[in-house]
Amino acid sequence: MLGYMTRRVLIMVPTLFVISIISFAIIQLPPGDYLTTMVAEMEAQGNEIDEAQLDALRERYGLGESFFTQYYRWITNVVFHLDFGHSFDWNRPVSGLVGDRLALTVGLSIATILFIWIVAFPIGVYSAMRQHSVGDYAFTMVGFIGLAVPNFMIALVLMWIGLRYFGQSPGGIVSPEYADAAWNLGKVLDVLGHLWVPIVVWGTAGTAGLIRILRNNLLDELRKPYVVAARARGVPETRLTVKYPLRVALNPFFSTIGWILASLIGADAIVSRVLNLDTTGPLLLRALMAQDMYLAGSLILISAVLVVLGTLLSDLLLGWLDPRVRFRYGR
Amino acid sequence: MAREIAGSADPADDSGLTSGRDPAGDEQEVSVAPQWKLVWWSFKRHRMALVGGIITIFIYLVALFAGFLAPYSNDSFDSEYAYAPPQRLHVVDDGEWGLHVHGYRAEQDPETLELSWEIDESQKIPVGLFVRGEEYELFGLITWDRHLIGPKDYDGPPMYLLGADELGHDMLSRIIHGTAVSMSIGLVGVILSFLLGVVLGGISGYFGGWVDNLIQRITEFVISIPTIPLWMGLMAAIPSHWGPLQRYFALTVILSLISWAGLGREVRGKFYAVRDEEFVMAATVDGASQPRIIFRHMLPSFTSHIIANMSLAIPAMILAETALSFIGIGLQEPTVSWGVLLEEAQSIRVLESAPWMMLPGVAVIVAVLSLNFFGDGLRDAADPYKS
């Protein structure tokens, strides 16, 4: 197990390195930099810019230097001091801006993954055990629809229903009347009343996908000779299913954490914009528009690192649960 | 029963082994049937896949004949009819056949200046089929001015079967025009990622060794990065002065730069599976050249599989384009796609007063759903290893 773990962690290092270069390269792609945007804006307003001040700014952010010098300075600060640089647009350090929002994004992602598991597990097992039953077809149909509906459409429809029939928007994370209130039972209940919306919106596609994977895996497993042999020996049907096939079929629950996390963090920008949530997604969108390069690059880097960590976590869990996985890495 | 056997038989297995089965009834037909026929037989058994396929073809036809099917052109609008609600199309007029819609009566709130629309039953706008309207170019070649449906009097009051948007564009026409862009993004993007995926996956699977290792690492890397932030970053890098066509191609290239990885994996897996088969060895022993082995012997044995996977990648592309355009960094006006149309449905106030702005979303769902069913059926039919 230890060998497997070290191997798995070592593989991660070059991945993270390449990801950091790509994140930095992307934000350098647009022509010009934040200062040119700022100068254009100020000139449009009729303000004169002091050339010396501009040079000072350029010097401070290292904007005039080569790509690799800039990258090196940025990444060493990130790695050794957790300093992600300075946001031009907000005129604040990136780490301070991102902190709270990141907590919300991660918290919501974890809650959504739990939601996906809780919903997908019974349905997936039921569909496989009662293959071709009415329930199986109904769930398959619902699953297909869940995969086909873009999650912002679900968000839009939920908002519309909320407005139309309940007279309030289900967006945001707290109702306006609680926004500045101290934490009390009323506010906690209010937050819970809001939280289910992003969780359902985010989780639909993942749930639909996981149900299909679980169903197919369990079906494959149930057809294997060892199941037939156990049945021939008279092992009761429930015990027969729970003891082995189900355990093997459970692998995707852990192996998919990585890509579910990737899709959640990806969908964040779109869903949060509709639902008006203060997560990292809308911040990234705004930063990209404003060429706020350190903020945008840091956000892309952070979300990629989160996904890599999620994949690592799921691989470790999988290696712990399934000796075959460990063996494959051990060779 | 015979057809079931045919469906499960390896399509690559055209070596004459199938003729060894008992020659009863259409069994004989099965043994001589070409591969595409076997695939078609087993595809037909999937009711949902068949329905999905028909709807898919229908949607692509709509995209082809958009100019003819839409009552109005993409950029014709009447700002007097901002957010006019959908009209009902009446078929019977005073006991006689006569297509018509009722006109509108607008009331302005004296305080908020907000327009509220009511259908005016007393006003009748005659509607006809194959009516004369704005000129358009079919397939970019034939200039024509006939529209499938529209108000008989072209200069009279407009018709809004699915309501109007903020500027008074006809939503029905815009959804129809958006079909062409939305559906073609899927096709073009998939073809691009198919080329990348087949070439890289093929090299990886055929040669193996360190080449395979390298390409696999790259594939894993591409799969592991979160797509939407990356797409957002790349799209934001596109210069704002680029025209609609350039933006369109930039978007397809960016989408396929990332989505080739899944297809590449699939192709590599297939190459690996087939590499050690007897027919490949036979070809090698026969002295066939490497390109000949790859393209004449190996590729045809899983072409159907690749096509099925491609058809499953199209809906993912359509969803990606819709999502990016929705947040305003994908395609932009004057290009009209379903995502661009949905961008206008973002604000709560619009949703409250004009819920029909969400209708392009219905088009997305129908298209993606039918493509998914179609692709799923195709994959099951093309997969020789499933029973």
Domains of chain B: 82-164 (no CATH), 175-381 (1.10.3720.10)
**Residue B168: pLDDT over 60:** yes
Confidence category of residue B27, pLDDT binned at 50, 70, 90: low
Choice among A55-69, B19-33, B193-207, B346-360 with the minimum mean pLDDT: B19-33
Residues 6+ apart with CB under 8 A from B226: A262, A263, A265, A266, A303, A304, A307
Picking from B322, B383, B363, the residue whose alpha carbon sits closest to that of residue B56 is B363
What's the one-letter identity of residue A210?
A: L
Whether B52 and B372 have beta carbons less than 8 Å apart is answered as: yes
DSSP symbols for A117-129? HHHHHHHHHHHHH
pLDDT tens for A227-270 read 889 889 988 888 888 888 887 777 777 777 776 777 777 777 77
Cα(A204)–Cα(A150) distance, rounded to whole angstroms?
9
Tell me what pLDDT residue B42 has.
76
Mark out the alpha helices in chain B (DSSP H runs): 2-8, 27-32, 35-44, 47-64, 66-69, 171-207, 209-224, 227-236, 244-275, 278-285, 290-292, 303-326, 338-343, 348-353, 359-382
Question: Regarding predicted confidence, which is higher, A210 or B94?
Answer: A210
**Looking at CA atoms only, how far is residue A229 from chain B in angstroms?**
21
Tell me what pLDDT residue B304 has.
73
Cα(B205)–Cα(B212) distance, rounded to whole angstroms?
6
A interface test, pick of B225, B318, B369, B376 with most A CB neighbours within 10 Å:
B225
Contact residues, chain B, for A266 at CB < 8 Å: 226-229
Summary mean pLDDT of chain B: 77
Interface contact A269-B228, CB threshold 8 A: yes
B350 touches chain A (CB under 8 A): no
Question: Regarding predicted confidence, which is higher, A133 or B6?
Answer: A133
The label of the residue with tokens 């229903």 reads A161
Cα(B247)–Cα(A28) distance, rounded to whole angstroms?
19
Domains of chain A: 95-329 (1.10.3720.10)
Does ipTM exceed 0.85? no
* Minimal Cβ distance to A144: which of B237, B345, B372: B372
Cα(B375)–Cα(B387) distance, rounded to whole angstroms?
17
Choice among B53-57, B172-176, B280-284, B297-301 with the minimum mean pLDDT: B297-301
B interface test, pick of A149, A256, A283 with most B CB neighbours within 10 Å:
A149
pLDDT tens for A168-190 read 666 666 666 666 666 677 777 77
Tell me what pLDDT residue B149 has.
77
**Looking at CA atoms only, how far is residue A272 from chain B in angstroms?**
11
What's the one-letter identity of residue B149?
A: I
pLDDT tens for B117-145 read 777 777 777 777 777 777 777 777 777 77
Interface contact A265-B229, CB threshold 8 A: yes
**Looking at CA atoms only, how far is residue B254 from chain A in angstroms?**
12
Tell me what pLDDT residue B383 has.
59
Highest average pLDDT, of A40-54, A124-138, B87-101, B221-235, comes from A124-138
Whether B355 and B346 have beta carbons less than 8 Å apart is answered as: no
- Residues B146-156 have a mean pLDDT of 74
- Residues B368-385 have a mean pLDDT of 77
- Residues B240-256 have a mean pLDDT of 82
Burial class (CB in 10 A: 0-12, 13-18, 19+), A153: buried
**Looking at CA atoms only, how far is residue A161 from chain B in angstroms?**
9
Structure tokens at B51: 């329905």
Contact residues, chain A, for B342 at CB < 8 Å: 152-153, 156
B187 touches chain A (CB under 8 A): no
- 3-state class of B211 per DSSP? helix
Whether A285 and A272 have beta carbons less than 8 Å apart is answered as: no
Residues 6+ apart with CB under 8 A from B134: B72, B73, B76, B145, B147, B154
